[in-house]
Amino acid sequence: MASSASPTAVVIGAGFAGLAAATTLAQAGWQVTLLEKNSGPGGRARVFEAEGFTFDMGPSWYWMPDVFEQYFRRFGKRVADYYELVRLDPSYQVIFEGDDAVDIPASLPALRQLFESLEPGSAARLDEFLAQAKYKYDVGINKFVHLPSRSVTEFIDWEIVKGAVRLDLLQSMAKHARKFFSHPKLLKLIEFPVLFLGATPENTPALYSLMNYADLALGTWYPKGGMHQIVRGMVAVAEELGVKIEYNQQVSEIVVEQGHATGVRTASGFWPASAVVAGADYHHIEQQVLAPEHRHYSPAYWDSRTMAPSSLLFYLGVNRKLAKLLHHNLFFDEDFSRHAHEIYEAPQWPSRPLFYASVPSKTDPTVAPEGQENLFLLIPVAPDLADPEATREKYYNLLMDRLEKHCGHTIREHVVYKRSYAHRDFVSDYHSFKGNAYGLANTLKQTAILKPTLKSKKVDNLYFTGQLTVPGPGVPPSLISGQVVAGEVLKEIKK
């Protein structure tokens, strides 16, 4: 436990990054207060219940299980202490044009057979592709993303230097994938992670094929009870180490005196701090909470950033079972490149969107009443769009038309609970810049030291963590981000 003489930290935001930062500082003996704007923890990974259904509000894919194990191990715990993991097999289903559904098997031998059936000779090329992706994963996730990326000198490391070519930072994901595969279905399968989470494959460094290794080799998992079980586990560890979590505490000001943050203000009063770590939306904290003289980026800088997609989400309770759907379902039955164009190059509501359908009740009966289904729908869309109810309803019906066609039965008349969520909700709940869902796109010009810095350039004890800084979007990167920023605080602010 921290002593009365221990330094104090205020962490803003109880998402994955904020929880990780707070817990890491507390383990080092700091007195840590975590201030959360909303009524519960998790940030975008919050949870809500309605009509007997339990809905995870955001992340639904559990990839990179090693990152979660490493996190809990840091505090002498195990993932199994907090939730039970189930590996999904098939990992997910992809629906192509003409209602052609392909199940992606969990086992590599079965996956090789699938690739070979679509494109003769591709099984051997898959082996080579995944071997390269494994190298990127091993170096990228275990070394590269743990760097604070505050100086180019951090990257003068023999393992990174000697492997620079193999990390494929200068080649695009699109070109890299086409060196191995030519079948349109295989290319969609390889490119979908970067389209949904980052940028177009043409603008994403081939380094991010490491996500294919996470997907196809390490597998897709599910924590029983839902993704929020991760958050519950993290909160339990944080509180055990003495982190004080205060909910319904929106930070209105970071008090700065002579270039040093003395603490933060909320409606409840002043919270003193030796260091402030902002895990809330970076743009909001830097451009709206900080006084103008303490901001280190301009509005023009932020407007020039390439954002990852936002999302239009539907949380649905359905009072019947749904045929022909798995836990995870990707509907790629429309033009893949056109949808990417409408997200990144000519931002607009998509004409015929790709979408994702998750039915966690296929795996976990506790998230829906008996005989019913928990259905989560997501369309990746451009950020900074108006999202009136009429637009949401238009896309709801468009998706329902395609779902009912695929399932072969009616769904709409069986929906007993419905909630939509999009840009204005992201802004209202998270102060999300331009209503984004995932942060910054993973382009070369927004990698490592080219991302917004995790340390303020004008306030000597103010730090940033989360999806708008290093290492980037996604749950595992956010977990890592919180630990990395806590490491910087501990190096620079001595007891």
Helix (H, G, I), strand (E, B) or coil at 415: strand
Alpha carbons 475 and 233: distance in angstroms, whole number: 14
8-45+65-81+226-305+442-492 and 111-218 share one fold: no
Q: Once rounded to an integer, what is the mean pLDDT over residues 471-486?
A: 95
CATH number of the domain located at residue range(s) 111-218 in this protein: 1.10.405
Structure confidence by residue, pLDDT tens digits, 91-100 = 999 999 988 9
Paired sense of beta strands 221-223 and 31-35, if any: unpaired
Name the residue with tokens 């072969």: 408
Q: Is the dihedral of CA 429, 430, 436, 437 positive or negative?
A: negative
Architecture of domain 8-45+65-81+226-305+442-492: 3-Layer(bba) Sandwich (3.50)
Question: How buried is 393 (Cβ within 10 angstroms: 0-12 exposed, 13-18 middle, 19+ buried)?
Answer: exposed
The answer for residues whose C-beta is within 8 angstroms of residue 319's C-beta and 6 or more apart is 369, 371, 372, 414, 415, 416
DSSP helix/strand/coil, 111 = helix
Instruction: Of 64-73, 180-189, 358-367, 436-445, give the lowest mean pLDDT range.
Output: 436-445
Q: Are 136 and 209 in contact (CB under 8 A)?
A: yes
Question: How would residue 58 be classed by pLDDT, with cut points 50, 70 and 90?
Answer: very high
Give the helix ranges, DSSP H, for 38-121: 65-74, 108-118
Mean pLDDT, the chain, rounded, equals 94
Handedness of CA 282, 340, 165, 130 (dihedral sign): positive
**How many C-beta atoms surround the C-beta of residue 192 within 10 A?**
22
Residues in the chain: 495
Whether residue 158 is predicted with pLDDT greater than 70 in this model: the reply is no
Nearest to 102 by CA among 110, 92, 112: 92
Q: How confident is the model at residue 1 (pLDDT cuts 50, 70, 90)?
A: very low
Where are the alpha helices (H) located in 304-422, listed in sequence order?
336-340, 389-407
- How far apart are the C-alpha atoms of 458 and 461, rounded to whole Å? 9
What pLDDT does residue 155 have?
63
Q: Is residue 266 predicted with pLDDT exceeding 80?
A: yes
Phi, psi values for residue 395, rounded to 5°: -75, -30
pLDDT of 179: 97
In this predicted structure, the answer to whether residue 3 has a pLDDT above a threshold of 70 is no
Look at residue 2 in the predicted model and tell me its pLDDT. Answer: 47
pLDDT at position 160 over 60: no
Domain ranges of the chain: 8-45+65-81+226-305+442-492, 111-218
- The answer to whether the CB of 6 falls within 8 A of the CB of 30 is yes
Min mean pLDDT across 16-30, 203-217, 452-466 is at 203-217
Residue 175 has pLDDT above 90, yes or no: yes
Residues 277, 267: Cα–Cα separation, whole Å:
19
Amino acid at 284: H
Q: How confident is the model at residue 163 (pLDDT cuts 50, 70, 90)?
A: low
Q: Give CA 144 to chain center in angstroms.
A: 18
Interacting residues of 281 by C-beta distance below 8 A, sequence separation 6+? 430, 431, 432, 433, 466, 468
**pLDDT at residue 343 greater than cutoff 60:** yes
Q: Which residues contact 467 (CB under 8 A, 6 or more apart)?
A: 17, 438, 439, 440, 473, 474, 477, 478, 481
pLDDT band for position 141 (50/70/90)? confident
Alpha-carbon gap, residue 43 to 19, rounded angstroms: 10
CB 87 within 8 A of CB 238: no
Mean pLDDT of 357-369: 98
Query: For residue 166, what pLDDT is reported?
Result: 78
> Given this model, what pLDDT does residue 351 score?
94
Assign 177 to helix, strand or coil. helix
Q: Which residue has the tokens 């202490």?
A: 81
Predicted confidence at residue 149, as pLDDT, reads 80
- How many angstroms separate the CA atoms of 205 and 425, rounded? 31
Average pLDDT over residues 432-460: 93
Q: Percent of the chain, pLDDT > 70?
A: 96
pLDDT at 267 over 80: yes
